[in-house]
Structures are given as C-alpha cells and as structure tokens.
Structure 1
Amino acid sequence: MPERRGRAGLVAVAACLGVWLIGSGSGGAVRPPLPSPAEALSAQTLYPGSIDPLPGSPPLRIRIPSIRVDAPLAGLGLDRDGSLEVPPPARRDLAGWYRDGTTPGATGTAVIAGHVDHASGPAVFYHLGALHRGARVEVVRADGRTAVFTVHAVEVHDADAFPDRRVYGPSPRAELRVITCGGSFSPRTGYQGNVVVFAHLTGAY
C-alpha cells in the first residue's frame, strides 16, 4: 500500500498492489466491496452528535463492529521518500496510524490505514467499502479512554485524482479518516485508488 505526500502537506494514500487478487489471477477471487455514491460527502453533509475533542493520546486498537474489525494499531512514520510507512505485509490483522499527526479523538484529522488484502486472502480493511453513514468506529487509546466516532461519509477515489485537502485538511472538530486500497483493479498494477471513511467524534468512555 505505497503512499505519497499530499498537496496539503499531509499524508495521502496512492495505490496498493492487491497481492491476493494478483496471486490468484483475480479470476476466482471476490473483490472487496465499494461504497455507493450515495455515501459520499456533499455540501449538506452534517456532523450529528459531535462532541468536544479529547486531549491527545496514542491509539492502541481500532474496532468497527459492523464489519467485524478488531485490530491492534502500530505507529507509522515516513519513509525516506516522504511516503507513509505501511504495516508489515505479513500482519493481515494489523492497522497503523500516522504517529506524527493528530491522535484519534484530539482536535484535527487523524489517519488510520491498513491493507485490504494479503497474499493468502482478505486483510484487516477488506470490508471497509461496505460501511454506511452512521456506522460506529471505536479507537482504544493509551489513556484508558475509547474514542467513539460516527461515519458521515464513505468514498472511493482514483489515485491520480485523490482529494488530498478534503481528506487530510485541518478540522476544528475531532475527525478520523480510515483508509485502504480499492477502486478499479488491474492484474498488472493492482488497485488504482483508495476507499476513504470519514468519521467524527461522537462519544468517549
């Protein structure tokens, strides 16, 4: 899941090989779900139930009950070329968060990314594109709190037209982006884009 620096100066996702589909010839493999255009952001998108941001604290785990995700989080930095590191390919159950950015629940836009597939099958965010507005995302933090986010949009974007500023731009709220590879697929080059989940903080316990 190689990634690139966004025009807004933040980290933006580029593309992913889709090693499972390529390895199977993609003929018999079921491709991951993609969001409906009805789930996209619009000028009328609301942020129902938003609460005040929490103090910063590193995240430890992400849970998305509706797609049965319950995964540990690793801190991701930047490679020498400025791209975001990715979780180890062998860890299909692991996701990562951009440790030099906003921590989930704090003011701003936090980023969590993970693989869509693995050499032997689906990985942690394979079903991310099946999420709908109103879905719940929980992030367990090192301070003992669990930040609860509500999804307000789900989109898929080609890598060559990725809306960096809209995805990674600053926010006065506590927001979260959960990202994996997706979009059109080529057996030669893999996935041509990314699925992006937009969520905002609505609770904490």
Structure 2
Amino acid sequence: MRRVSNVAIGAVTAVALCTGAWLLGSGGAETHAPPQPSAAQGRTGQDGTLSGAPALPPSPPDRIRIPSIRVNAPLMGLALTRAGSLDVPPAAQKNLAGWYEAGTTPGEKGTAIVAGHVDNSVGPAVFYDLGALRQGSGIEIDRRDGSVALFTVDAVSVYDAEHFPDEKVYGAADRPELRVITCGGGYSRSTGYRGNVVVFAHLTGSR
C-alpha cells in the first residue's frame, strides 16, 4: 500500500468513524462505552515468526465474520475521498463494514485493511465489541472467488489518535495480514472518541 494512502487512512479512522453521539443520554451523561482491549491483548508474545498459511490469489472480499463477538457483516469497497483520506461506510447502516479496495485483498500477501463504525447516533454498530476480541480468536473473510480466508488474531490494541502508529498498522507485510479498525479510547463530548481499536491478524488457513 502506498505510504500516502496509509497516512490518509489513519486520519479518517481517527475522525470520521468516531462520533459516538449515542453515548450521550438525555441528561448528557455518558453511558454504555464499548469494551477496550487490555494491555495484555496488545502484546503478541511472539517474535514475528509465527507460522501462517500460504498466500491466496487476489480476490475481493464480500463478508466478514468474527464468531466470538457475533460479527457477521457484508463488506463494501472503500475508496479515497477527494481530500485524499479513506471514505467510510454509511453510518446509518450499522451492520456494514468496508475494506480499502485499492490496497491488498484479504488473504493475499500484504496488509489488508477493514474498517467499520463502533456506533452511530442510535446505538452500537458493527464493531462495537471489537475491543473485547482476544488473541487467538478467528476471523473469517468470504471472498468473491468462493474461498474463505481464515485469520487468527495476534493482538488487539488501542491507540490515541495523536500518536497513531501508521507504519505499524498500515505498513507492508511479508505474509498475508489483516487489520480491523474501529474507534476507541477515551471519549469527548466535543470530538467523539479519541483513538482507535486495531486488531492485528494473519492468515492461518482457507477453505
């Protein structure tokens, strides 16, 4: 993925996905904040040599499933906006995620990017429970060629938007890897969520 695109994606996931308007009750009190990953889930405990499955040929994805947090959602293609940042799925469609279609397809060699809202104005959205995902959990991506790419979660981290590690999240990989991104961290009435939850996973099989 081109470096310029990486920077643009980092900016949009810290802002456009992160309104959190529904958290404010009629009395203005914050409530029902989404789960956040622990520090332990952010450490892989691996030296980077964890074995994986051979890369799959490129094929656009159609659906993402994360059984342990009850995610089963269609995927739409996301392009860059005229300002150069990544567009986002329509907030009103709470069970919809997107993938960066100008980048790596999930399952092929490299880093594939999936993003979705944590909530919208009326309640939780597709990745509300992403921060509760644990190391070793499975992620399934249905691909248009009929195959299913099977990923295993290596780590789940939360990053402040001002210190978002673009290269770590969006940088090139020597094996098939997946990043799943939503909003997280602290919450402010004026700006929404202050950061992002990022799931790091790699391909471990297919069917």
1:168 is aligned to 170
1:201 is aligned to 203
Give me the CA root mean square deviation: 1.9
2:127 is aligned to 125
1:11 is aligned to 9
Could you report, residue by residue, the CA deviation over 1:116-165 in whole angstroms, capped at 9, with x for unpaired residues? 00111100000000001000000000000000000000000000000000
2:80 is aligned to 78
1:20 is aligned to 22
CA distance in 2, matches of 1:171, 1:10: 19
3-state SS in 2 of match to 1:11: helix
Question: How far does residue 21 in structure 1 lie from its aligned partner after superposition?
Answer: 1.2
Amino acid at match of 2:14: A
Aligned residues: 201
Question: How far does residue 89 in structure 1 lie from its aligned partner after superposition?
Answer: 1.1
Structure 1 pair 119/44, CA: closer, same or farther in 2 (3 Å)?
Answer: same
3-state SS in 1 of match to 2:22: helix
Structure 1 pair 24/138, CA: closer, same or farther in 2 (3 Å)?
Answer: farther
Could you report, residue by residue, the CA deviation over 1:58-100 in whole angstroms, capped at 9, with x for unpaired residues? 0000000000000000000000111110001110000000000
CA distance in 1, matches of 2:5, 2:142: 30
TM-score by length of 2: 0.91
CA distance in 2, matches of 1:41, 1:115: 24
Question: How far does residue 105 in structure 1 lie from its aligned partner after superposition?
Answer: 0.3
CA distance in 1, matches of 2:26, 2:179: 30
Structure 1 pair 21/114, CA: closer, same or farther in 2 (3 Å)?
Answer: same
Report the identity percentage.
Answer: 58
Amino acid at match of 1:201: L
Question: How far does residue 104 in structure 1 lie from its aligned partner after superposition?
Answer: 0.2
TM-score by length of 1: 0.92
Long gaps (5+) in structure 1 = none
1:64 corresponds to which of 63, 66, 81: 66
CA distance in 2, matches of 1:23, 1:47: 47
Establish whether residue 156 from structure 1 lines up as the match of residue 153 from structure 2.
no
